Chain A
Amino acid sequence: MAKTLRFRFSRGQELKYLSHLEILRVFERALRRSGLPVEYSQGFNPRMKIVFGLPISTGLTSDAEYADIVLEKDIDLSTFVETLNESMPLGLKIHEAVELKNKNNIMNEIKGARYNITMRASLTYGEMEDMVSSFLSKEELTVMKKTKKGMSPVNIRPMIYSMNVIRKDTGRDVNSSGHEDGNIIELDALLSAGAQDNLRADLLMEAFMEYTGLKADILSINRSALYTIRSNEWKTPFEVANG
């Protein structure tokens, strides 16, 4: 009996420079090495039945990537995770799998993505928070975005659900005078994601710096969660796998 699994995987520093297409190929080859009974499409050019939630841009790490895969026969979930991990290169790891009990395509499910953006800037937490709220108070934030028709102006404000400075409890606020390299500041952002209205975190930061005049070095961007929506609430892809 065929069975569809949904699994979550992470991508670490080692493989963060791979493109989405390169990641797809890594999975196909790892699956072939693993010997797991993946189902193939029919026809002249049989393809493995695996679908990824949201492409991951080159340069990002992630704790929360999701994919759906069809297996020819029933396999214990933990066996699936362990077996596939043995064939995955360092830098890609499967964390958990659940059985998918509906036919909803993961690609259509994804509506939101949460990012953790680490930067170096000569600001205090407070100054950064002020900058964020003034940025978010704008009704329109127009940036040039790559669309199907080439570069065109897009208002990204509706695609930003939240943006917060993460105050690390170090017992003191970072010093605005800082040392000359600036302070490490982290931002948490929840952005629209998916087939429509996808806002990339690097584009958000470009717009943020352009509108606020902030000068910062982006050190890293990590995707920390992917969400879908059920009755106006954010749900993880695992939370909607049942019904």
Chain B
Amino acid sequence: MRIELNDKILLDVKKPAKYTGNEWNMVRKNPEDVAVRFAFCFPDDYEIGMSHLGMKILYHILNKRDDTYCERAFAPWIDMEDKLRENNIPLYTLETYTPLCEFDIVGFTLQYEMSYSNILNMLDLGKIPVLAKERKEGMPFVIAGGPCTVNPEPLADFFDFFVIGEGEEITNEIIDAYKEWKKAGEKREKFLERVALIEGVYVPSFYDVEYNDDGTIKSITPNRENVPGKVKRRIINNLDTVDFPDEIIVPFVGTVHDRIMLELFRGCIRGCRFCQAGFIYRPVRERSYDNLLDLAKSAVEKTGYEEISLVSLSTSDYSQLPELCNALIEYTEGQKVSLALPSLRLDNFSLGLMDKVSKVRKSGLTFAPEAGTQRLRDVINKGITEEDLLNSVRMAVEGGWNNVKLYFMMGLPTETMEDIDGIADLGIKLIHACRDLPHGKTLNITLSTSCFVPKPFTPFQWEPMDEIDNLMQKQYHLKDRIKKGSRRITYNYHEAKLSMLEAVFARGDRRTGKVLYTAWKKGCKFDGWDEYFEFDKWMEAFEECGIDPKFYANRKRAFTEILPWDHINIGVSKRFLKNECEKAYMGETTENCTANCSFCGVQGYKAGICTRTKRSV
């Protein structure tokens, strides 16, 4: 069924081109010519979803197959949702205007816990039963991938299965299994049995969870044969062997990252203890210089984009960065294409580089010291000293940058008021330290604090999150101290209530799924957007489900406790994380992967940096 839309709907919503597709490089196929129809769903607005690299990669991988047609759907903005519901129009894909319920597989990407309510809403809008157990023969399989699947438990009731890890290879294996299952003419459950055998697939209904009287988990066990006790994360060993898209869809509507994204590498060598990405994407694997340069050129030719951005967790750590940048600068200048270099550590080399690429205006530079004192930076293993920062900022100001952004976290383990004061004092010191410089008198600092949310598979996965009241007090205290210290510092902070909710779902178990369902029924959606976040409704949902959010957000776990995600194996060992946590409390730092291997466990993949770094004794 092709959905019909009209002017009455589309001329009455903001940015209607978000809902009509037809973008350049959108893949066109006849749905009748393919064996598998796949709807790739992003549980947020089009402008966010179309900025997401993972979706572009998998769209490309799936559509390369002649037997599969991958289409896209996004969470309609509130105005459009109202129109859809008013006119009883199901949520549809942008390629062929087909309702989600008509697809074989509906795949979501889980990028952020606060988009979970949108998933339920999209399923409902797409006329698919929200609960997996209510889906019958002939209905789509609803699956999910992305970083939040490392703890899939809060969503266990809603998905048929999860895909843990990188998707380029496993997605093909799932499609092959689907075709075989279809050919065999088997029942719905048989497909789940088939995919459960694929390494990296987690079928939640094949596992039973038992609880202790104190609410902690007693056991997580497979309830049938041939199902792995632990599901191992999939990775791509050599990035140069898998396809990276150059025929990227070019949206009409401006998106958040409206440019070519060139992925330098996956993983990060740094091992900052609060950072989930630093652990769940290990080990570092680089794409080769030659491959990247070719990709950049063909992507410019095929998209007409005016900007290329290098993408990774830490651009400066790419081993051939100078060579790559020189070659890219030479190419992009000729094409009148600009080059963006985010996530650079500031030193002489990178400053020179930024000077070369940003001929337009020197707007802002961003630094992330994350904590206000050296003691606390050692606790979180953020290898940056006050002296580094002073030098970097002085260099930047000398180079003509006069807007500096500094990012910090509040509520980190072991934090005291001294650390909070340290945040303000660091900003004030920087203002003073730059006064004597030619541009120093115009230096402005924007200082932002977020609330630390402990995440699974980090050394802080056992830690309590700071209480909302404490965080708010710290925010007011800091605001006050900054105001007294300097007029040239602007202070922004994140909503602590939203972070608390994020903390619940980051480390939640299956029981938190009921809260999610209840909150969605109450109308919660787009929780990550300030204007739609309704904390009170969420609290009502906890209340009605008899679940205490503090049990999940603010409780310190024992090392011996069975964690909801213990049956997921991302490659990094629990022993290593525990050891890192203990080192954190002692203020001891850990070297990065280039300097020394600390045997975190991912060396078992025998990939990337693990095949190069030797442990020195």
Contacts and interface: CB of A to CB of B under 8 A. Distances in A.
Given A17-B10, A19-B17, A33 B303 contact: yes
Nearest to A91: B22
Interface string A100-144: 000000000000000000000000000000000000000000000
Interface string A76-101: 00000000000101110000000000
Interface in B297-331: 300-306
A218 B7 contact: yes
A217 to B, nearest CB: 8
Contacts of B303: 29, 33
A32 interface: yes
B519 to A, nearest CB: 33
Contacts of B10: 17, 59
B301 A33 contact: yes
Given A14-B22, A17-B20, A30-B304, A44 B252 contact: no
Q: Mostly helix, strand, loop or mixed at chain B's interface?
A: loop
A58 interface: yes
A59 B6 CA distance: 10
A46 B22 CA distance: 29
Contact of A28 (B23, B302, B304, B359): B304
Contact of B306 (A28, A59, A219): A28
Contact of B302 (A15, A18, A33): A33
B11 interface: yes
Nearest to B22: A14
Contacts of B253: 22
Most B C-beta atoms less than 10 A away, residue of A28, A33, A90: A33
B252 A26 contact: yes
A32 B7 contact: no
A242 interface: no
Interface in B474-503: none
Candidate in B20, B254, B300, B360 with the most chain A CB atoms within 10 angstroms: B20
Which of A22, A31, A32, A87 has the most B CB atoms < 10 Å from its CB?
A32
A18 B23 contact: no
Contacts of B336: 32, 40, 46
B523 interface: no
B359 A22 contact: no
Contact of B7 (A29, A44, A59): A59
B352 interface: no
Contacts of B23: 89
Nearest to B18: A17
Contacts of B254: 22, 25
Nearest to B7: A59
B252 A32 contact: no
Nearest to B16: A17
Given A18-B17, A220-B7, A90 B302 contact: no
A170 interface: no
Nearest to A59: B11
A17 B306 CA distance: 23
B304 A32 contact: yes
A46 B10 CA distance: 35
A58 B304 contact: no
A18 B304 contact: no
Interface string B7-30: 100110001110110111000000
B558 to A, nearest CB: 55
B541 interface: no
B250 interface: yes
Contact of B250 (A14, A29, A31, A46): A29
A232 interface: no
Contacts of A177: none
A42 interface: no
A196 interface: no
Contacts of B360: 44-45
A70 to B, nearest CB: 15
Contacts of A91: 22
B22 A89 contact: yes
A219 B7 CA distance: 8
Between B250, B252, B306, B361, the greatest number of chain A beta carbons within 10 A of the residue's beta carbon is seen for B252
A29 B17 contact: no
Contacts of B24: 26, 29-30, 33, 89
A28 B253 CA distance: 14
A129 B205 CA distance: 68
B451 to A, nearest CB: 37
Contacts of A58: 11, 16
A140 to B, nearest CB: 28
Contacts of A29: 24, 250, 303-306
B22 A90 contact: yes
Interface string A6-30: 0000000011011100100110111
Nearest to B302: A33
Contacts of A44: 359-361
A28 B258 CA distance: 14
A17 B17 contact: yes
Contacts of B361: 44
A134 B63 CA distance: 58
B464 to A, nearest CB: 47
A40 B336 CA distance: 9
Contacts of A46: 336
A92 B212 CA distance: 64
B46 to A, nearest CB: 13
Interface string A33-60: 1010000100011100000000000110
Nearest to B301: A33
Contacts of A17: 10-11, 16-17, 19-20
Nearest to A34: B304
Interface in B239-262: 250, 252-254
Contacts of A32: 300, 304-306, 335-336
A87 B304 contact: yes
**Which of A35, A44, A58 has the most C-beta atoms of chain B within 10 angstroms of its own C-beta?**
A58
Contacts of A28: 304, 306
A22 B17 contact: yes
Given A15-B252, A45-B360, A220-B7, A31 B304 contact: yes
Nearest to A220: B7
A33 to B, nearest CB: 4
Contacts of B359: 44
B252 A22 contact: yes
Contacts of A30: 24, 304
Contact of B252 (A18, A33, A59, A220): A18
Nearest to B13: A17
A17 B7 CA distance: 9
B133 to A, nearest CB: 39
B27 to A, nearest CB: 13
Nearest to B19: A17
Given A22-B252, A29-B306, 5 more contacts: A18-B17, A26-B24, A26-B252, A33-B24, A33-B302
18 contacts: A14-B20, A14-B22, A17-B17, A19-B15, A22-B252, A26-B252, A28-B306, A29-B303, A29-B304, A29-B305, A33-B302, A33-B304, A44-B360, A58-B16, A59-B7, A89-B23, A90-B22, A220-B7
Q: When A and B form their complex, which 9 residue pairs have the shortest distance between CB atoms, in order from nearest? A: A29-B304, A33-B304, A32-B304, A17-B16, A14-B22, A22-B252, A59-B11, A89-B24, A17-B17
